[in-house]
Chains A and B, each alone.
Chain A
Amino acid sequence: DQQVKQNSPSLSVQEGRISILNCDYTNSMFDYFLWYKKYPAEGPTFLISISSIKDKNEDGRFTVFLNKSAKHLSLHIVPSQPGDSAVYFCAASADNYGQNFVFGPGTRLSVLP
């Protein structure tokens, strides 16, 4: 059973609008969360992180929200740009050690011009 779920395999958004990518997890011990972005034929690249001591973290157009009681996090991209079209993975860990991060299956975001 997947511990980290991204229930939307794909998402399409108009350029300039908000993109919201969701991630749910089942392990209540998870305290560290990461989002990665992946373009075709490239490896994932780190985008933004959050730990459970916060419920929000912002970096430019990207904001991650964490709702620990609901075991849910979301990535907001505002405004969305065509260059944001990629696959987005969330990852979670209980102890911040790299080998223990569990990755979700990813959501493919398409930003339409």
Chain B
Amino acid sequence: NAGVTQTPKFRVLKTGQSMTLLCAQDMNHEYMYWYRQDPGMGLRLIHYSVGEGTTAKGEVPDGYNVSRLKKQNFLLGLESAAPSQTSVYFCASSYVEGPIYEQYFGPGTRLTVT
């Protein structure tokens, strides 16, 4: 049981390049999320998905797109990377049962845009 995995772990992009971050979970969770973490700030939600084939915008969606074609995978795309997108990106997933819906996080992807 791997939990939540993210690939790649590190990436350096030049301004204007594109890339896709992959998140996979093997816990059969309905909900999945993409966050970014910047120094001195809490995790900020980029996009999320409440089920296969559905996505929605979070707090900071501009410059990103997502897709959830399979329940276990959630992809985050950067079409034209900008230095402001230098950050650590975390994927998470969660149940929708239980008293409080805690999230299970992947190890993160450190992205640098030069």
Which residues of A come within 8 Å of B, CB atoms?
2, 4, 9, 32, 34, 36, 41-46, 49, 51, 89, 91, 96-99, 101-106
| Residues of chain A with a CB closer than 8 A to B41's CB | 105
Which residues of B come within 8 Å of A, CB atoms?
4, 31, 33, 40-45, 48, 50, 56, 58, 90, 92, 94, 99-108
A42 nearest in chain B by CB position: B107
Asked whether A34 lies within 8 Å of B48 as measured between CB atoms, the reply is no
* A89 with B43, Cβ < 8 A, contacts A43-B92, A43-B107 known: yes
10 shortest A-B CB distances, which residue pairs?
A43-B105, A103-B42, A46-B102, A49-B100, A103-B43, A99-B48, A98-B94, A44-B105, A105-B42, A104-B42
Q: In whole Å, how far is A93's beta carbon from the nearest beta carbon of chain B?
A: 9
Asked whether A98 lies within 8 Å of B108 as measured between CB atoms, the reply is no
Asked whether B100 lies within 8 Å of A32 as measured between CB atoms, the reply is yes
Asked whether B43 lies within 8 Å of A42 as measured between CB atoms, the reply is no
B93 nearest in chain A by CB position: A98
